[in-house]
Amino acid sequence: MSTTNLAVIPGDGIGPEVTAEALKVLEVAANIASGSASAGPVKFEQTRYDLGAERYLATGEVLPESVLAEIKEQDAILLGAVGGKPNDPNLPPGILERGLLLKLRFELDHYVNLRPSRLFPGATSPLSPAVLDKGEIDFVVVREGTEGLYTGNGGAMRVGTPHEVATETSVNTAYGVERVVRDAFARSQARPRKKLTLVHKTNVLVNAGSLWWRITQQVAEEFPDVTVDYLHIDAVMIFLATDPARFDVIVTDNIFGDIITDLAAAITGGIGLAASGNINSSREFPSMFEPVHGSAPDIAGQQKADPTAAILSGSLLLEHLGRPEAAAAIDAAVLADLSERGPEPRTTSEVGDAIAARVVG
Amino acid sequence: MSTTNLAVIPGDGIGPEVTAEALKVLEVAANIASGSASAGPVKFEQTRYDLGAERYLATGEVLPESVLAEIKEQDAILLGAVGGKPNDPNLPPGILERGLLLKLRFELDHYVNLRPSRLFPGATSPLSPAVLDKGEIDFVVVREGTEGLYTGNGGAMRVGTPHEVATETSVNTAYGVERVVRDAFARSQARPRKKLTLVHKTNVLVNAGSLWWRITQQVAEEFPDVTVDYLHIDAVMIFLATDPARFDVIVTDNIFGDIITDLAAAITGGIGLAASGNINSSREFPSMFEPVHGSAPDIAGQQKADPTAAILSGSLLLEHLGRPEAAAAIDAAVLADLSERGPEPRTTSEVGDAIAARVVG
Ligand SMILES: CC(C)[C@H](C(=O)O)[C@@H](O)C(=O)O
Ligand SMILES: CC(C)[C@H](C(=O)O)[C@@H](O)C(=O)O
C-alpha cells in the first residue's frame, strides 16, 4: 500500500465543510483502488494547514515561509476555499489571492490549471433545449497558471492624483507557453475527439498572441492526429453560449482561462459542480486540487454548501496520482447522485454520505 | 434643416451590404425627424472612404494620414465591417485591427464604446425559459475604448527562440477612467433602474483594479441616486448566463468590455443584432457607429447578411446627434420587424426595406 502525504487546506467559509466531504469520498475511493489493475490502494497521510482569511485577520500571516516549505514536501494538496467577507476593510482585495492562492500556484509551479466542464445528466443548464440538443457538453480547459496578467507585474504612479497611471503587464514566455500547450495536446490526444482549440486575442495582443500561435503550430507537428483550431476570446463567448458541444480541449492563457472557466461552469450546471486541478505536470512540486467556487461566507457553517465540486476535485487528485479507476469511481458516484437528486434540499454531509455510499470498485 | 457630414466606411465582406441598408433606414428616420419636438430634420452629406482588407491587399495602405485628416472633419462615421479572409497569409493578424479600427478609436478619442444589449421580442436567445423568466434583458455596456490592453504597449524579445518573452501592458489613467466612469453614471441616471455595475478583476489586477474602484467610488458621490455595485469579470460570466436581467449599466475596461459584449450579444439573439457606438462624448472628434459583427467573408455579396445590427447602429448615431425621436423610430421599426419575422429567409435588402417601411415619426 502506497502512502500519499496530503496537505489539506480547508480554508474559510464553506471551505471546511466541503473539504470534509471531499476527504470522506476520497478515503472510500482510495480503498477500492485496491482492486484496480494499475496500482494498489492509496493511504492518505493528512496534514492540515490553517490558512486563509481567518488566520490573516487574527495573526496578519498569509503564508509563512515555513508552512510553504512544509507544503512543498507533500505529495498533493486539497484546498477548500479561501476568502473573507466581501468588502471587509481589514482585508484589502488581493491579499489572500496574491499572497496565498496565487502564491501557491506560482511557488509550486502549477502551470496547468485544469478545469473539466461536463454537463452531467441531472444537472440544470441555463442554456435552452435547442442549444443543448446540438450535442453533449464535455470539454476540458487547460488554463496556463504561472504567467500572463497574473504575474503581479504592474505598478502605479501619482496614486490618488488626477495624473495617476496604473499598469498591469501580461508576461508570456516561450518556455511557459510551450509546456502548457504540449500538456494540452497530450490531453487532447487521449480523448476520443482529439480536438484542440487555442484561444487568444491575436488581432489585438499581437506580441503575446503571436507567441501562443507560433508555439501551437510547432507543437502540433508532434501530434499529427490532433485537430487544431483557433478562436478569439470574444468569439469563444458566443460559441459557449450557442454551441458548447463544439469544444473538446481548450488551451489558453491565465486571464482568458479564468473567464472561460466560470462561463463553462455556469453552462454546465453551476459553480457548485466545477472542479479544478492546479497541476505541476513535471512533478517537481505537489499539485493542488480545489473547487472553482469561493468561500461563500454568507452560507458558511450552515451545512448548505454543495460539496460536489470539492468531491470532483478529489477525483482529479486521484487521476493525477495515477489512480484512474478510483477517479472514475468517484465520477460515476457523482453522476448517479446527480441524476437522482430530488427537490428536497440536503445538508452538505448528506450529499457527501450519499456520494460516498455510491463509490464502488 | 441641419446638415450632418457623414463619413461612410462600408469596408469588406458583408460590410457594404449592411451599410447600404443602414443608410436606407437612416435617411427615412432623418426625414421623419422633421416632426420631432427637439430638432428639425437631418440631411446627411455622405463621403465614402474605401478602407479595409481589400484596399490594403491592393495598395498596402491601411489608413493614409490624409484620409484620417478628412475623417476627423466629419460630424459622424458609419462603418460596416472590415476584415479579410481568415488566415490570409498576406494579412497578418492585427494589421487592420490595429491600423484601422483601433487607430480610428484612438485617433478620434472614442473613449466610450457603447453597446446596448436588449432581448427584443421575437429574437431567439440561447438561454433557457427558466433564465429568461427572471426578467427582461435590457442593459448597456459602457466599455472604455482608448486604454487598457488595447494601447499597443507590448513587445517581444528573442523572438523565435526558446527564450522568447512577449509582453502586453494594460495602461490605465485616472483621466481615462474617470471620464468613462462619469459617462456611465450619467447613462445610468437617465435610465429607470439607475443601476451601475463596475466590472474588473481587483483581486488580481490590484493596480488597475484599485484605480477603477477608487474612481468609481469618487464619481458615485456626484450621482447619489445611482446604485453602484461591483463584480469580478469571472462572476459576470456566471450572471450573464444565469440572471442577465440583473444588469442595467455595466462599466468596464477595454478587454473585459470586448469579452462581455460578445456574450451579451449572444444571449440577446446573436451578433447579427448587436449595435455599437464608438463615442467621443466630449465631442472634439466625430463618433463612429458600427455593428459588433465582423465582415463574414464567407457569405459576402450573397445578400445573406442580416443588416439589423448596422441599422441599430444608425439609431445610436441619431441618438448621439441629438435626435432621440428619430432613433426611437428606428428601434420601434426593428422591434416590429423582429416580432413578425417568419421562418423564410429574406435578402439583406428585403430586411432593410421592411424596416425602412416601418419607420414612422
Ligand atoms: C480567486 C482568484 C485569484 C482566482 C483566479 O482568478 O484565478 C479564481 O477566480 C479562480 O479562477 O481560481
Ligand atoms: C476587431 C477587434 C479589434 C475588435 C475589438 O477587440 O475591439 C472587435 O472584437 C470589437 O469588439 O469591436
B228 at A interface, C-beta within 8 A = no
Residues written for chain B: 361
**B253-278 tens-digit pLDDT:** 999 999 999 999 999 999 889 999 99
Give the pLDDT band of residue B343 (cuts 50, 70, 90).
confident
- The domains located in chain B, with CATH, are 1-110+281-361 (3.40.718.10), 125-268 (3.40.718.10)
pLDDT for the residue B87: 84
User: The cell 504597449 sits on which residue?
Assistant: B153
Question: pLDDT higher for B343 or A174?
Answer: A174
**Measured CA angle at B135 (ends B129, B138), to 5 deg:** 110
Quick check: B38 pLDDT over 60?
no
pLDDT for the residue A152: 95
Q: Cβ A156–B211 below 8 Å, yes or no?
A: yes
pLDDT for the residue B21: 98
A191 at B interface, C-beta within 8 A = no
C-alpha closest to that of A274 among A282, A284, A262: A262
Whether A125 contacts A268, CB under 8 Å: yes
d(CA B252, CA B254): 7
Whether A292 contacts A274, CB under 8 Å: yes
pLDDT for the residue A80: 98
pLDDT for the residue A15: 98
> How many CA atoms lie less than 13 Å away from B53 in the CB half-sphere?
25
C-alpha closest to that of B111 among B150, B61, B153: B150
Chain A, nearest residue to B130 by Cα: A126
Residue A185 CA, chain-centre distance (Å), reads 18
**B45-59 tens-digit pLDDT:** 999 999 999 999 999
Low-confidence ranges of chain A (pLDDT < 50): 35-36
Reading the block at residue B64, the C-alpha cell is 493614409
Cα Rg of chain A (Å, integer):
20
User: Coil, strand, or helix at residue A133?
Assistant: coil
User: Coil, strand, or helix at residue A229?
Assistant: strand
Q: Cβ B209–A265 below 8 Å, yes or no?
A: no
Residues 108-127 of chain B with CB under 8 A from chain A are 124-127
Quick check: B36 pLDDT over 60?
no
Q: Ligand 2 pocket: which of B97, B104, B262, B289 to mutate (most atoms <8 Å of CB)?
A: B97
pLDDT for the residue A38: 57
pLDDT for the residue B37: 53
**Distance between start and end Cα atoms, chain B:** 16
Helical segments of chain A, H only? 15-32, 53-59, 65-72, 95-96, 102-107, 129-132, 174-189, 206-220, 233-242, 254-267, 308-320, 324-339, 348-358
d(CA A328, CA A140): 16
> Which of chain B's residues have a Cβ under 8 Å away from the Cβ of A124?
130
User: CB-based contacts of B44: which residues, under 8 Å, 6+ apart?
Assistant: B3, B4, B6, B23, B26, B27, B30
Quick check: B86 pLDDT over 90?
no
Kind and range of the H or E run holding A307: none
B204 at A interface, C-beta within 8 A = yes
Whether B325 contacts B37, CB under 8 Å: yes
pLDDT for the residue B353: 98
pLDDT for the residue A334: 97
pLDDT for the residue A109: 98
Ligand 1 lining (C-beta closer than 6 Å): A 97, 101-102, 258, 292; B 203-204, 234
A209-218, B161-170, B334-343 — which is least confidently predicted?
Answer: B334-343
Reading the block at residue A162, the C-alpha cell is 488626477
Choose, from A150, A183, A253, A337, the residue flagged as catalytic.
A150
Give the pLDDT band of residue B41 (cuts 50, 70, 90).
confident
**A174-201 tens-digit pLDDT:** 999 999 999 999 999 999 999 999 999 9
Reading the block at residue B346, the C-alpha cell is 429574406
Angle subtended by helix axes B174-189 and B206-220, to nearest 10: 40
d(CA A334, CA A355): 6
**What integer is the mean pLDDT of B208-223?**
98
pLDDT for the residue A33: 60
Whether A220 contacts A230, CB under 8 Å: no
d(CA B337, CA B331): 10
Give the pLDDT band of residue B361 (cuts 50, 70, 90).
confident
Quick check: B35 pLDDT over 70?
no
Give the pLDDT band of residue B314 (cuts 50, 70, 90).
very high
pLDDT for the residue A260: 98
**What integer is the mean pLDDT of B329-343?**
93
d(CA B207, CA B209): 5
Residue B52 exposed, middle or buried by CB count within 10 Å (0-12, 13-18, 19+):
buried
